Amino acid sequence: MNRFKKYYSAFWASALYSLVFGGLYGLSLAYVQFAEPKKMFWVLLALPLIFVYTQQKNYLSWSYLPYTDTGLKWKQVFLHIPFAFGLVAFALGVLALAKPEQSEERWQQEEREGIEMVIALDLSGSMLAMDFVPNRLEASKQVAIAFIEKRKQDKIGLVFFEGQAYLQCPVTSDKSTLVRLFSGAKTGRVEGGTAIGAGLATALSALRSSTAKSRVVILLTDGVEESNSQISPELALEMAKTLNIRVYTIGVGTMGKAPFPAQDAFGRTVYVEQEVRIDEPLLQKIAKETGGEYYRAKNEREMENIYADIEKLEKDKLKIIQHSKIPEYFLPFLMMALLLLLFALLFALIVFV
């Protein structure tokens, strides 16, 4: 009968310990998640300790503690408190071992309204013409950056082109990187010219793997096709139609003449009045056949209005995945465990010594 009582005590002690651990775990889930939950099985190591302890101390139940003439001795009441605190400390240590971290997905997936787009910007030398303030390029950059900063829900990529085209930034939701790269755009990084076809094709390639229903290219240029590229604007147009990507084209430049940069006999930069040449029929064709629109920006205000109009594009729900480093909270669990162990030790020294 006594042995049955010993096992009975071990059973209820183990059950109580399981409830305590389950409570700690459940309370923790309200604030954190665990990166390595399998390590929680280490909590089972406490069960043999509980069994051995209950056999040595005979009974955990107060009903089996011996009475004196004056009733239950107070030391006997507190007999099991150090061990109980040690078990809770062990449970907290196991939770710390499971690597608690901030209760958010490591890769946050947010459903937002928006589109995926690529801005293809002409960086040819003619973009330094001063019919915009301070010139076409700087004005285009300023307006585009303001547009990017407002499109918090969209994913945007950047393509720059002169005589050749290159992907400056793949489609991303990281607006700070986009603004930084756009701010650093300048002419003369590749061979001169205006590769409209290559610029458009590069932008389309950046959107090829996109699953968004609304995919858009904003192509901004101030000239006509002048390059050695093997990709003609017509070929790029067919690519856009095949991929079902809308293209919004913007012709940049005033009507008539504008001051263009040139080199004099001494190698100095001078500005010469020249006719503004924009291949509007081509840009109109690209926009029309892809379901976009063609715009002519003759000044900064018109360019701002164009981007405002593009903002009204039909939006599609996207999943924007942003990587964030999630804070780990193993230290608070570990500190609580150490404090409980210290308290148990001090309690035993004060009460039983």
| Domain positions in the chain | 2-106+326-352, 109-323
Residue 139: its pLDDT value, please?
93
Q: How far is CA 159 from CA 100, 173, 191, in A?
A: 42, 16, 15
The alpha-helical segments, DSSP class H, found in the chain are 2-29, 46-56, 74-77, 81-97, 136-150, 175-183, 196-207, 233-243, 280-290, 300-310, 330-352
The dihedral region occupied by 256, where left means phi > 0, alpha psi between -120 and 50, and beta the remainder, is left
pLDDT band (50, 70, 90) for residue 112: low
**Axis crossing angle, helix 2-29 with helix 46-56, rounded to the nearest 10:** 140
- Cα(198)–Cα(231) distance, integer angstroms: 5
Residue 62: its pLDDT value, please?
44
- Cα(110)–Cα(129) distance, integer angstroms: 42
The alpha-helical segments, DSSP class H, found in 224-279 are 233-243
- 122/100: higher pLDDT: 122
The three-state secondary structure class of 296 is strand
- Cα(22)–Cα(43) distance, integer angstroms: 11
- Cα(47)–Cα(99) distance, integer angstroms: 22
Would you say residue 344 has pLDDT above 70?
yes
- For the purposes of burial, counting CB atoms within 10 Å of the CB of 36, is it exposed (0-12), middle (13-18) or buried (19 or more)? exposed
Would you say residue 328 has pLDDT above 80?
no
CB atoms within 10 A of CB 74: 9
pTM of the model: 0.60
Residue 96: its pLDDT value, please?
83
Q: Which two tokens stand for residue 249?
A: 């084209």
- 109/99: higher pLDDT: 99
Would you say residue 270 has pLDDT above 50?
yes
Mean pLDDT across 343-350: 79
**Axis crossing angle, helix 280-290 with helix 233-243, rounded to the nearest 10:** 10
In this structure, which topology does domain 109-323 adopt according to CATH?
Rossmann fold (3.40.50)
- Tokens 């099985």 locate to 41
Q: Which of 8-17, 36-45, 153-162 has the lowest mean pLDDT?
A: 8-17
Residue 197: its pLDDT value, please?
96
pLDDT band (50, 70, 90) for residue 284: very high
Q: Which two tokens stand for residue 285?
A: 């064709």
